[in-house]
Amino acid sequence: MAEVRTRFAPSPTGFLHLGGARTALFNWALARKEGGKFILRIEDTDVARSTEEAVEAILDGLRWLGLDWDEGPYFQSQRLEIYRKYALLLWEKGLAYECFCTPEELEERREKTMAQGINWRYDRKCWNLNEEEKEKLKREGRKPVLRFYIPPGETTFVDMLRGEVRFQNEELDDFVIMKSDGMPTYNFACVVDDALMKISHVIRGDDHISNTPRQVLLYQAFRFPIPQFAHIPMILGKDKARLSKRHGSPSVTYYRDQGYLPDALFNYLARLSWASGEEEKEIFSREEIVERFSLENVTKHPAVFDLDKLNWMNSVYIRQADNKYLCSILEEILVRRGRIKPEEITPSHREYWEKVIALMKERIKYVAQLEEEASYFFTEEVEFDPLAFEEVLQREGVEEILKECEEVLSQIEDFRAPVLEEAVREMAKERGMKAAQIIHPLRVAVSGKKVGPGLFELLEVLGKERVIGRIQRARQRIRETRSSGISGGG
């Protein structure tokens, strides 16, 4: 078998989309399984829309997912002379011709044709122009495009998911291969690159199926070997609409910045449209995915992106992850969100964050959830949930209970959860109260919330100084609210 060579060829016009990441993953997995090569090519010939920022976002996303490439990145914008050389070959063979029609003229003719109920395809107005006519048009300042001549007949190719696919050539029009500014079009540059880079398998989204007959005709015109094609299904939202922000962000960068683990997203993307043959098994290592991967097991039905399932899978990876690793992710999130500056971070910060993670990792689906839903770990001033403050801290006698909690906890040197629990339960016993009557106000006082991790473990992680300070501020807020008659939230 010839060397398997796959490629991922994104256009740098935005972030790395989940669909693009899955395409890259399937190409990467096949190359790794077959001991082949995975090539990265940046298709940046759309000068108006391509940006360096988008290139970096794509490269960063691939690196974060662990999709390492063996060759590249190649940039099409640096290969223009190659495309011009091959376009000239087609022109010299009479397989391509100059077209001087303006966009306005094309649109006018298209509208007239459509008004007659006939589907528009380029009418070959410029196919038989003689040299004198061409020179006259050039003197008018018209810059021609180069169109590929579609021969009569039928074009077929074999799709590894769908079998033989047939297109009648009369359904295709003479498409542009070189624009008037000298830039190649997608279909043309793609074929030249795939042939010169010896790509053996073209694995891409099924929205490219309509491009494939045009590309096959170009392969045949150049007498290039035709690669094997596999058009994988789109990723849809639960509502069966194309994946967009309303389904959860489609950007790989978003999930990285939210504290999803790369191995979890890799695992989840691999399972979209690919069946391992072990239907009860959901969690796969990278090595297992490579070992089991096969295009024959990729379904042609659209995949459905399920954020709940991704969250479940990520929570599994979080529970299995090393706390120091999770701490490094949390640190990046806190810096990015302005909770702390990089130069302010000390070993004691990291030691504290590791304790937070150890306490909370069983409860979170992604690391940023710590900052979003348990911000009390990362601020000095507690922001009270208004309802929690009203229902718990504004009850009669709560300020006195907190005052006693402050006195009791202040005397404890060994500020560990079992010691704290024993002290609070003894306090409840002496007062003739249920422990919950102390635990609930104490939780709201130190966290601002009615729910959270075990109270005594929470107190231990926060530490004695922070806990006492928060109890004092909660008591002060209760007194101020009582005297002013306003709500104590915020």
One domain for residues 106 and 157: yes
- Confirm whether 245 is a catalytic residue: yes
One domain for residues 363 and 409: no
One domain for residues 67 and 209: yes
Residue 485: predicted pLDDT: 64
One domain for residues 109 and 123: yes
The CATH number given to whatever domain includes residue 105 is 3.90.800.10
One domain for residues 191 and 71: yes
One domain for residues 396 and 467: yes
Peptide bond into 184 cis (omega under 30): no
Q: Domain for residue 142, yes or no?
A: yes
Q: Domain for residue 100, yes or no?
A: yes
pLDDT (tens digit per residue) in 311-338? 999 999 999 999 999 999 999 999 999 9
The CATH number given to whatever domain includes residue 203 is 3.40.50.620
**Domain around 390:** 386-484
Active-site residue, from 85, 245, 324, 403: 245
Residue 246: predicted pLDDT: 72
One domain for residues 56 and 202: yes
pTM above 0.75, yes or no: yes
Residue type, 428: A
Q: Domain for residue 73, yes or no?
A: yes
Instruction: Print the SS3 string covering 107-166.
Output: HHHHHHHHHCCCCCCCCCCCCCCCHHHHHHHHHCCCCCEEEECCCCCEEEEEECCCEEEE
Domain endpoint, select from 331, 356, 377: 377
One domain for residues 422 and 450: yes
Radius of gyration of the chain (CA): 32
Rounded Cα distance between 275 and 271, Å, is: 7
Residue 372: predicted pLDDT: 94
One domain for residues 121 and 142: yes
Q: Please name which of 193, 185, 237, 241 lies closest in space to residue 211, comparing C-alpha atoms.
A: 185
Alpha helices in 150-292 (DSSP H): 186-196, 212-222, 252-257, 262-270, 286-292
Length in residues, the chain:
490
Q: Domain for residue 332, yes or no?
A: yes
Rounded Cα distance between 115 and 89, Å, is: 38
Task: Please tell me what DSSP assigns to residue 274.
Answer: B
Q: Is 338 left (phi over 0), alpha (psi -120 to 50) or beta?
A: left
Q: Domain for residue 222, yes or no?
A: yes
Contact 489, 384 (CB under 8 A): yes
The CATH number given to whatever domain includes residue 400 is 1.10.10.350
Roughly what angle, to the nearest 10 degrees, separates helices 262-270 and 52-65?
A: 90
Neighbours of 220 (CB within 10 A): 13
Residue 240: predicted pLDDT: 84
What is the number of helices (H) and of strands (E) in the chain? Answer: 20, 12
One domain for residues 411 and 444: yes
Rounded Cα distance between 192 and 219, Å, is: 8
Q: Domain for residue 350, yes or no?
A: yes
One domain for residues 73 and 213: yes
One domain for residues 154 and 19: no
Number of domains in the chain: 4
Domain endpoint, select from 377, 412, 447: 377
Contact 261, 318 (CB under 8 A): yes
Sign of CA dihedral 285, 291, 292, 297: positive
Residue corresponding to tokens 């992850």: 321
Query: What ranges make up the beta strands (E) of 291-392?
Result: 303-304
Please tell me whether residue 427 adopts helix, strand or coil conformation. Answer: helix
DSSP string, 223-242: TPPPPEEEEEPPEE-TTSSB
Sign of CA dihedral 411, 417, 418, 421: positive
Average pLDDT for runs of 10 along the chain of length 490 = 91 94 98 98 93 96 98 97 98 96 94 90 93 94 96 96 96 96 96 98 96 98 97 90 75 96 98 83 94 93 93 98 98 95 96 97 97 93 93 94 96 97 96 95 97 97 97 95 67
Q: Domain for residue 259, yes or no?
A: no
Q: Domain for residue 368, yes or no?
A: yes
Residue 75 exposed, middle or buried by CB count within 10 Å (0-12, 13-18, 19+): middle
